[in-house]
Amino acid sequence: MLTIALSKGKMLDLTLDVFRQAGYALGSLSTESRRLVFPCPEIGMTFLIVRPTDVPTYVEYGAADVGIVGKDVLMEQDSDVYEPLDLGIGACRIAVAALKGQASRDRLSSKIRVATKYPKITERYFNQRGVSVEIV
């Protein structure tokens, strides 16, 4: 039985559509259910519905054979997992924003301060541009 970790939330419906389009009958698997484990013995798979940030951990430590998660999660975590393909579903856009005129003023200082949900991605972005950054 193949165990697949899926991200609950926005990506789950899109992911389930991919499986359905590939011809898999997902039985009782539903986005409405509060269950986290969905065995589908008729197709030889068990689905685990977990938080997106947990998908790479489940795969890395062998609780799941494979997982489907957004690129933002993979980029932010340092999990030792292999990314075989991009399914082309979902979308994530990370943007830098500042008050009008603030960005040029901050460039003159030694370090800019950035508040973010993605500290590793943010630090990499600014370091690649030679800008010192303080992550909040």
Q: What's the CA gap between 64 and 60, in Å, rounded?
A: 8
pLDDT of 108: 53
Beta bridge partners of 68: 6
pLDDT of 105: 52
If you write DSSP's letter for every residue of 114-135 in order, what string do you get? Answer: E--S-HHHHHHHHHHTT--EEE
Q: In a 3-state reduction of DSSP, which class is residue 2?
A: strand
pLDDT of 109: 58
Q: What's the CA gap between 77 and 82, in Å, rounded?
A: 13
Token code pair at residue 47: 């689905």
Mean pLDDT by runs of 10 across the 136 residues of the chain is: 93 92 86 88 94 96 96 90 89 84 60 90 92 91
**pTM of the entire structure?**
0.82
pLDDT of 65: 97
Q: Which domains are present in the chain?
A: 2-76 (3.40.190.10), 102-135 (no CATH)
